[in-house]
């Protein structure tokens, strides 16, 4: 399936829904690309206009330099997101993407735009720090990390040529996620809805609950069976939860 691309380099639509009342803007996980959200677009269109964000340095943007921090990703994504805010928007992010979405929401609110919801998946609250250093380790350790989270196709992990292509992307994003430090400030006015896998080694129930500290609006938290990429097997249930939380 071919994506339609907006005038900027960031936004990808795999199931355009021009008449949808709400635009769901999705931020990929570490090492991920916009195409990770093709199943979302198929599940949620036409009720939502699902727009997946494409970070520099991957797929059709692979010739561009990486953005090496979460702040840089959020800064660069802000104007493309604002261009999509001609109708109500909601933000979704999985893993690293949840932190990027949070920082984008902060910047949007500073510009007077309050998203209908921030949906954070598979990521601890910004205020909960872990000392992690996977990005400093060798390729074998990085590959082992990818395998342990079960988010990468086993065919990819077995193909040395493809691995050499994606490892720099993965390492960059791990660096961005692991060096992120939350800067205290006002809580969001945006409702936050948190989803996580109960056996996810990357987020505990307490770390997921702590997202509540980051909003003065509605907050919900939903656990699922599964690990870090629980959503691969729970998309129908997650889609229903997004619809209930955000509306259309």
**Which positions are annotated as active-site residues?**
95
Name the residue among 139, 132, 107, 102 with its Cα closest to residue 119.
102
Q: How far is CA 213 from CA 27, 169, 183, in A?
A: 22, 31, 13
Q: How far is CA 111 from CA 7, 15, 116, in A?
A: 22, 29, 15
Say how many Å lie between the first and final Cα of the chain, rounded.
Answer: 25
In this structure, are residues 55 and 81 in contact, taking their beta carbons and an 8 Å threshold? no
The burial of 219, by beta-carbon neighbours within 10 Å (0-12 exposed, 13-18 middle, 19 or more buried), is given as middle
Name the residue among 182, 174, 178, 175 with its Cα closest to residue 127.
182
């Amino acid at each position: 399936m071919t994506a339609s691309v907006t005038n900027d380099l960031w936004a990808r639509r795999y199931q355009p829904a021009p008449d949808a009342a709400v635009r769901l803007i999705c931020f990929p996980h570490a090492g991920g690309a916009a195409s990770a959200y093709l199943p979302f677009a198929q599940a949620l269109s036409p009720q939502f206009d699902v727009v997946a964000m494409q970070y520099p340095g991957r797929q059709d943007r692979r010739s561009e330099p990486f953005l090496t921090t979460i702040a840089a990703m959020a800064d660069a994504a802000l104007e493309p997101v604002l261009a999509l805010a001609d109708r109500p928007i909601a933000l979704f992010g999985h893993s690293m993407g949840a932190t990027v979405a949070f920082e984008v929401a902060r910047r949007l609110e500073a510009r007077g735009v309050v998203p209908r919801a921030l949906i954070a998946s598979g990521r601890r609250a910004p205020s909960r720090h872990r000392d992690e250093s996977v990005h400093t380790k060798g390729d074998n350790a990085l590959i082992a990390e990818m395998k342990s989270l079960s988010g990468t196709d086993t065919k990819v992990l077995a193909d040395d040529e493809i691995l050499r292509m994606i490892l720099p992307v993965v390492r960059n994003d791990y660096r961005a996620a692991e060096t992120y430090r939350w800067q205290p400030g006002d809580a969001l006015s945006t409702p936050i809805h948190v989803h996580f896998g109960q056996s996810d080694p990357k987020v505990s129930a307490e770390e997921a609950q702590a997202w509540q500290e980051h909003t003065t609006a509605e907050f919900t938290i939903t656990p699922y069976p599964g690990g870090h990429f629980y959503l691969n097997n729970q998309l129908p249930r997650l889609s229903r939860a997004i619809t209930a939380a955000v509306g259309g």
